[in-house]
Chains A and B, each alone.
Chain A
Amino acid sequence: GAVVSQHPSWVICKSGTSVKIECRSLDFQATTMFWYRQFPKQSLMLMATSNEGSKATYEQGVEKDKFLINHASLTLSTLTVTSAHPEDSSFYICSARPGGAGPYEQYFGPGTRLTVT
Chain B
Amino acid sequence: AQKVTQAQTEISVVEKEDVTLDCVYETRDTTYYLFWYKQPPSGELVFLIRRNSFDEQNEISGRYSWNFQKSTSSFNFTITASQVVDSAVYFCALSRVQGAQKLVFGQGTRLTINP
Residues of A within 8 A of B (CB): 32, 34, 41-46, 49, 51, 57, 91, 93, 95, 97, 103, 105-111, 113
Say which residue of A32, A45, A51, A108 sits within 8 Å of B45 (CB atoms): A108
Instruction: Answer yes or no: B35 CB below 8 A from chain A CBs.
Output: yes
> B43, A44: Cβ atoms under 8 Å?
no
Interface size on B, residues (CB 8 A): 22
Q: B103 — which chain A residues lie within 8 A by C-beta?
A: 34, 44, 46, 95, 106
Can you give 10 A-B contacts (C-beta < 8 A)? Answer: A43-B91, A44-B45, A44-B103, A46-B102, A46-B103, A95-B103, A103-B52, A108-B44, A110-B42, A110-B44
Question: How many angstroms between the C-alpha atoms of A95 and B35 in the bound complex?
Answer: 15
- Establish whether residues B43 and A91, one from each chain, have CB atoms under 8 Å apart when the complex forms: yes
Q: Nearest chain-A residue to B42 (Cβ)?
A: A110
The residues of B with any CB-CB pair to A shorter than 8 Å are: 33, 35, 37, 42-45, 47, 50, 52, 91, 97, 100-108, 110
Given A34-B100, A34-B102, A97-B101, 9 additional A-B pairs, CB 8 A: A41-B110, A46-B102, A46-B104, A57-B100, A93-B43, A105-B47, A106-B101, A110-B42, A111-B44
Q: Are A93 and B91 in contact (CB under 8 A)?
A: no
Q: How far, in angstroms, from A45 to B107 measured CA to CA in the complex?
A: 10
When the two chains form their complex, are residues B50 and A49 in contact, meaning their CB atoms are under 8 A apart? no
Residues in B neighbouring A95, C-beta threshold 8 A: 45, 103
Q: Are B50 and A43 in contact (CB under 8 A)?
A: no
Contact of B43 with A43 in the complex, beta carbons under 8 Å: no
> Do A43 and B100 touch (CB < 8 A)?
no
Complex CA gap A44/B35 in Å reads: 14
Would you give the shortest CB distance from B53 to chain A, in whole angstroms?
Answer: 11
Residue of A with least CB distance to B104: A46
CB distance from B9 to the nearest CB of A (A): 9
Q: Is the CB of A44 within 8 A of B50?
A: no
A43 with B107: CB separation less than 8 A: yes
Taking CB atoms, residues of chain B closer than 8 Å to A91 are: 43
**Are B45 and A93 closer than 8 Å at their CB atoms?**
yes
